[in-house]
Amino acid sequence: MKIRKMAIVTTVCLFGFGLLLTPTMVFSENLKVGAVFSVTGRTSFLGDPEKKTAEMVAEQINNAGGINGKKLELIIYDTEGDATKTNLAVKKLITKDKVCAVIGPSLSGTSMAVVPLAEQYKTPLISAAASYKITWDEKKNKSRHWVFKTPQTDTMAVEAIYTHLKKRGINKIAIASITTGFGKSGHGELVRLASKYGITIVEDESYGPKDTDMTVQLTKIKGAAPGAIVNWSVGPTQVVILRNWKDLGMTEIPFYQSHGFGSRKNIKLAAGAAEGVFAPLGAVNVAELLPASHPQKAVTMGYMKNYTAKYNEPLSSFGGHAWDALHLVAKALKAVGCDRAGIRDYLENKTAGFVGQHGIFNFSTNDHIGLTFNEAFLMVVVKGDDWALAK
């Protein structure tokens, strides 16, 4: 593996410089794809599986002969979850590395930070973050021309949760959210969509990304006597609040997490406190539980087997975001080559019925997400320290 270094980037990995090719494979040239993930730092739980997945996919593509006889050269920069570093890395990928397209970043905030670069340099970018604002220009009321994304949106996750609550006859809830870009975006959708689903929010609490105790917030929530609690965060805080919820004897109040809870590591870290917790997750998280007839069964099972065998760790939703993004770019490269405008047009006009880890994608002029909550989410519940399909 060849390593490049630059002052603003902690880790830069070039993947596939012949090391993984069989002696009979000869590539005429490289097709460069850039990636920016939060590989280290506070949000490494997002970027690390994304990086590993992208490397694995690139290896599989090159071992199968590449793309039209050309090698897929994957250039990955570690952003450490920092918006400034992300901005500099994406600019370098576009202007110096001359990549055909960029996948990532891992976070909604860092994705929003580089949207102007994708537009300025007319380079297709497929984000691995949640907020609908990444692809939708609210001022112009249309999709951003050069930006796409693979994760389900916070809007879809809220709709999935509210649909399940309505099915259970619960209409009074309390919400808690983290004060980051992801949390604020989710909070906004929880509030905005509540009346549409006949939901009343009886308590609204928040906490910081470094907080280590949410007892005060949960005590207020308990006093409001909600029918359920919906928490919106990622990382350690979503585990901390579960432990506090259990310690306060509040487990009789149903607890819902956002789609950011999509890693079995969170269940393990909760040390029993996650039992009975609900979350809307993609098929990738429960591949082995899907019926044989499910349209995503084959791709999710294949990814699960390959990832766990290669890295000896459970996969998560987050790696699935990278799987979808790189496969989408690879399909476009196969069709149009390293033509940035051609890749963008192909993604928008030719991505129909693409079966991915998080749903079946159908991009269009005014939909650069290509998913709906009905097909992109399954409601799961933690049972016996593992996922189970919820009723």
> Which class does domain 2-151+299-372 fall in?
alpha beta
Q: Contact, 115 vs 104, CB < 8 A?
A: no
Strand pairing report for 30-37 and 101-103: parallel
What per-residue confidence (pLDDT) applies to 9?
A: 38
| Residue pointed to by tokens 């709709």 | 159
Tokens of 244: 């506090």
Say whether pLDDT at 291 is over 80: yes
What per-residue confidence (pLDDT) applies to 3?
A: 36
- The CA-CA-CA angle for residues 168, 130, 362, to 5°, reads 90
- Rounded to whole angstroms, the Cα distance separating 284 from 282 reads 5
Cross-strand pairs, 383: 386
Q: What is the 3-state secondary structure (H, E, C) of the chain?
A: CEECCECCECCEEEECCCCCCCCCCCCCCEEEEEEEECCCCCCHHHHHHHHHHHHHHHHHHHHCCCECCEEEEEEEEECCCCHHHHHHHHHHHHHCCCCCEEECCCCHHHHHHHHHHHHHCCCCEEECCCCHHHCEECCCCEECCCEEECCCCHHHHHHHHHHHHHHCCCCEEEEEEECCHHHHHHHHHHHHHHHHHCCEEEEEEEECCCCCCCHHHHHHHHHHCCCEEEEECCCHHHHHHHHHHHHCCCCCCCEEECHHHCEHHHHHHCCCCCCCCEEEECHHHHHHHCCCCCCCHHHHHHHHHHHHHHHCCCCEHHHHHHHHHHHHHHHHHHHHCCCHHHHHHHHHHHCEEEECCCCEEECECCECCCCCHHHHCEEEEEECCEEEECC
**Of how many residues is the chain composed?**
391
Mean pLDDT estimate for the chain: 92
Percent of the chain with pLDDT over 70: 93
What per-residue confidence (pLDDT) applies to 373?
A: 84
When the candidates are 3.40.50.300, 3.40.190.170, 1.10.3720.10, 3.40.50.2300, the CATH number that belongs to 154-281 is 3.40.50.2300
153-189 pLDDT, tens digit each: 999 999 999 999 999 999 999 999 999 988 999 999 9
Q: Contact, 169 vs 140, CB < 8 A?
A: no
* 48 vs 8: which has the higher pLDDT: 48
| Mean local confidence (pLDDT), 283-299 | 96
- The CA-CA-CA angle for residues 114, 119, 124, to 5°, reads 85
What per-residue confidence (pLDDT) applies to 12?
A: 37
Common-topology check for domains 2-151+299-372 and 154-281: yes
335-383 pLDDT, tens digit each: 999 999 999 999 999 999 999 999 999 999 999 999 988 889 999 999 9
88-106 pLDDT, tens digit each: 999 999 999 999 999 999 9
Q: Contact, 256 vs 377, CB < 8 A?
A: no
Edge to edge, the sheet with strand 386-389 lists 200-207, 172-178, 228-232, 255-257, 278-281, 378-383, 386-389
Q: Position 258: which residue type?
A: S
Cross-strand pairs, 155: none
141: phi then psi, degrees, rounded to nearest 5: 55, 50
Prediction pTM value = 0.88
- Closest among 43, 40, 53, 49 to 12, alpha carbons compared: 40
300-340 pLDDT, tens digit each: 999 999 999 999 999 999 999 999 999 999 999 999 999 99
What per-residue confidence (pLDDT) applies to 18?
A: 31
What per-residue confidence (pLDDT) applies to 13?
A: 41
What ranges do the domains of the chain cover?
2-151+299-372, 154-281
Strand pairing report for 125-127 and 101-103: parallel
2-36 pLDDT, tens digit each: 334 333 333 334 333 333 333 344 565 899 999 99
- Closest among 68, 93, 76 to 16, alpha carbons compared: 76
Say whether pLDDT at 75 is over 70: yes
